[in-house]
Structure 1
Amino acid sequence: MLTASHPKLPMRNKAITKDYYINKLGFKPFGTKDYEGYLMLEKDSIQIHFFEFKDLDPKENYGQVYIRTNDIETLYLAYIKANVEIHPNGHLELKPWQQKEFALLDPDSNLLTFGDTI
């Protein structure tokens, strides 16, 4: 019965979040309306929603999302080429649970982990 999940992450500044996800990560706006304090973005078959939290302290943000991909090497290299900063402990590697993964932090320190089943 469940058909999809769209994580909601906090953002301090809608313009900065939108710019990062669109111009660095390749997302695009979802929908045709612009809602104050809320942002919906999509890439391929996933969506991420953001809610405004102006007082968010990035050092205390534990927002996270795990995103599955079927071509992690290509995605990783594309982000490296686009100068997307990879998390210092999140470079592409094979994990013991048989996933190839890498991770990055967005401007608000939301952790995005990308994984591909091996």
Structure 2
Amino acid sequence: MLTSVNPKLPMRDKTATKEYYVNRLSFEELGTADYPEYLMVKRDAIEIHFYAFKNLDPKENYGQIYIRTNDIEGLYQSLLDKRVAIHPAGHLQTKPWGQKEFSLLDPDNNLLTFGQSI
């Protein structure tokens, strides 16, 4: 039986990725060992893994994940309060497919879309 999924996204700079997810998005780092080529972060029931890809060109990165939430407006406002940049075309809006969504781009251009069913 399947119980969870933990996406793996590319990162160029572990320090920058960790700073963004931990300090800006309020995730916590997982694990006690420091692996220079790997990073794991968690927030609530969401766990995201990152692998080193030093030659990644952010303009050619199409990494993306969709994260469901049960408080889209609260999450959106908390990120605005922290001055986290929202994707230029991804501000909070109701979509025709019955979701309220917004999107962010991390330092490596991985697209994070947050959504809640309405």
Q: Same fold (TM over 0.5)?
A: yes
1 CA distance for matches of 2:34 and 2:46? 19
CA apart distance, 1:33:
1.7
1:109 is aligned to 2:118: no
- Secondary structure of the residue aligned to 1:18 is helix
1:82 is aligned to 2:71: no
1 CA distance for matches of 2:36 and 2:18? 13
1 CA distance for matches of 2:80 and 2:72? 12
Query: Partner residue of 2:38?
Result: 38
Runs of 4+ in structure 1 displaced over 4 angstroms?
none
Query: Partner residue of 1:14?
Result: 14
RMSD: 0.5
AA partner of residue 61 (structure 2): N
| Structure 2: unaligned runs, 5 residues or longer | none
1 CA distance for matches of 2:30 and 2:70? 22
Query: Partner residue of 1:61?
Result: 61
Task: State percent identity of aligned pairs.
Answer: 64
- Secondary structure of the residue aligned to 2:66 is strand
Cα displacement string for residues 25-74 of structure 1 (whole angstroms, at most 9, x for unaligned residues): 00001122221210000000010000000000000000000000000000
Cα displacement string for residues 70-108 of structure 1 (whole angstroms, at most 9, x for unaligned residues): 000000000001010000100000000100000010000
2 CA distance for matches of 1:64 and 1:34? 25
CA apart distance, 1:23:
0.6
Please say which of residues 15-24 and 29-38 is displaced more in the overlay.
29-38
Query: Partner residue of 2:28?
Result: 28
CA apart distance, 1:20:
0.5
1:72 is aligned to 2:72: yes
- Secondary structure of the residue aligned to 1:16 is helix
